[in-house]
Structures are given as C-alpha cells and as structure tokens.
Amino acid sequence: MHLWNIFKPKKRNNWEPVPHHFVKSAPLRATLHEEGLAVQPFLSPDQLLALRRLYEQEHQLENSDQGGMFYSVYSQDTPYRRRVHEAIQAILQPALDALLTDYRTVLNSFIIKMNGPASEFALHQDTTGLDETQYSSLSLWIPLEDITEQNGALCVVKRSHRLFSPYRSISFPPPYAGIKHTIKDYLEPVFMKAGEALLFDNRLLHYSLPNRSDHNRVIVMCGIFPQEAPVVTCFKSPGDPRIELIQHEDDFMINYPNFFVDCHQKPTVGQTIGYVADTYGPMTEKAFLRACREHGIQKTNYLRNALSQGYLQGEPVLEKTAR
C-alpha cells in the first residue's frame, strides 16, 4: 500500500504535472503537458450513431423552460450507470486503443445540457482522482453534435492545469474561490465537430456556456487513468488543517451512489492511506495574474455575463421503470 505523509512545500506550487505517459503520440503528449488540452478527430460515423442511439435508449429527461444539467454519474441508479459505462466502452474501445496504451477507463458517462438559461455550469476544476505526484489523468469530452456558441460550448483557461493544487475536493474550497470573476477574463470557448474529442487535463479550469438552442446538447465523457494508478480521493473535515487521502476500489466511480446526493460528506467506502498538510491556501488576484504572466496565459475577454450556477438534475428518467 502506498502511504502518503505530511509535507510542507517550500513555495505555493512545488509540484510539476506528470506527463500523460499513456498517450501514444509524443507530439500529442507534449501538447497536453504544455497546454493542458488538445482536440482530435475520434469517432467514426458508425460509432457516433451508436452513441446517439444509446443515449436515446437510456434517457427520458424532464426539461423546463429554464433548462439545466444532467450527469449520468450523479444518478443513484448504479445499474444504469454501469450499463451506460460498459456500453460506451464497447463502442469506443477501438478508438481508445488507437490513441492510448497501458490505460484504463475509470468512468464513461453522458452529460446532457438541457436547453435554457439555467444550463450554464460554473467555473471549476475536476476533483482529484489519483496520486498526482506520480500520475496524471485525462478526460475525453466527446460531443454527439457540432458544438457552437449557442448550444453550450466548453470554455477553458489554457495552461491553468499548472497553477493550483494537486489536492481538490468539493469538501473544501479551491484556491481560486475568491477570484473567479478575474479568471473569467481568461476563458476561451472550444468549438468542435460531432465525433471529435477534446482531450484535457482534469486540473484545467473550465466552464460551460448555457445551451440557447432548441434541443438538449449531449456529450460523452471518458475518464482515463494510467493502468497501474489506484483511485485516490481527497477529503477535508471542518476544522481539520489536514487533507485526508482515501484509496478506493477500481470501480468506485461507477458504483459509488453519492456523487450528487450528500456529495459533500466523506465517502462511506474506501481506506484512509494518509494525510497531507493543506498548504495551498487562497490565491490572490495579484498572485493569479503573476502566474498567468509566468505561464504565458493570455486574457481573452470572451465572457461578459457568466459564472453562475445552473440547475442540476439527478436522474435519467421521469419515472423509475423495470428494465
């Protein structure tokens, strides 16, 4: 078992993101390491059609005039989540094998942005899922239709995967919590064609525009780990200066029911493997701007009225039915 110990960094960021060694292409691996993202052709027409059919087969989402967001991983219906994960994996396996080596898919899921003003999704980084002092994970964001300004494009801050902390959890605020309106000036949209894949480091700051189209926007999300990397999450109890590190079974992201309900509570499964000092405190605007200069992060001024929190829907169907 890998035991992590308390440490005290000499400066705010004394760690360097580890390259994504499981990406086959050296130029692509270098781009991901430096920029934090890349867009690649990915799906065949048949694979794209199969994913659309799978989505229609599994979902009967309720929508309102306000719209909202649905993440299949938030459902407490774990048989549904496993069914979706396995079906997506079967469709994507050839494309993933062509791109990656010595990897495993820890989660395949659908993300649906239901059309309406409440479909905007707040600025965030994805939470820690492995030991980032040894490994880096990768997310694949795969739209089932062309992505435009109207249907909820993802917006990112390039190179921001280097700026903050390797320990992230919704149980404690991120270092940038007080400067989000400064960060929004650095976000830029990623417009894509159906079947392309946005590969991004999950430490990258990202946000999504509201869906102002006349229909729901559907994407597939894949979470990729190095084959040997165990699942490790972070948790911080109120009043405790330490961050607890919890190791889980490999299927944690498929089977754990409470990523939406009671999601701020400590996971009810997993084994504590150590603690680290919470030395990554709030980042000031001045420190953020200095980091942007150091990393060549340019202001875009793309967004004007953004960074609210939209509505989240927890389940994929209107009524539970036997399957």
Nearest to 315 by CA among 52, 96, 58: 58
Digit-coded pLDDT (tens) for 233-255: 999 998 899 999 999 999 999 99
Tell me the pairing of strands 188-190 and 121-124.
unpaired
Distance from C-alpha of 33 to C-alpha of 269, rounded to nearest angstrom? 32
Q: Which of 115, 130, 69 is nearest to 260 (CA)?
A: 69
Q: Where are the domains of the chain?
A: 26-302
pTM listed for this prediction: 0.89
Residues with Cβ within 8 Å of 43's Cβ and at least 6 positions away in sequence, in order, are 51, 92, 95, 142, 194, 195, 196, 197
**Beta-bridge mates of residue 114:** 68
pLDDT in tens, 120-164: 888 999 999 999 999 999 999 999 999 999 999 999 999 999 999
Token pair, residue 49, equals 């059609």
Q: What is the DSSP string of 85-146?
A: HHHHHHHHHHHHHHHBSSEEEEEEEEEEEESBGGG-EEEE-PPP-S-TTT---EEEEEESS-
Q: Is the pLDDT higher at 189 or at 264?
A: 189
- Residues 94-120: pLDDT tens digits? 999 999 999 999 999 999 998 988 888
- The CATH code of the domain at 26-302 is 2.60.120.620
d(CA 189, CA 210): 12
**Rg value, the chain, Cα:** 19
Task: Give tens-digit pLDDT for 254-293.
Answer: 998 876 666 678 888 999 999 999 888 899 999 999 999 9
pLDDT of 315 strictly over 70: no
Across the range 207-231, mean pLDDT stands at 95
| Lowest mean pLDDT across 6-20, 165-179, 196-210 | 6-20
For residue 119, the model assigns a pLDDT of: 86
pLDDT at 37 over 80: yes
Q: What is the pLDDT of residues 51-100, one digit of tens each?
A: 999 999 998 877 677 888 888 988 889 999 999 999 999 999 999 999 99
Rounded to whole angstroms, how far apart are CA atoms 301 and 238?
Answer: 36
**Res. 310 pLDDT band, cuts 50 70 90:** very low
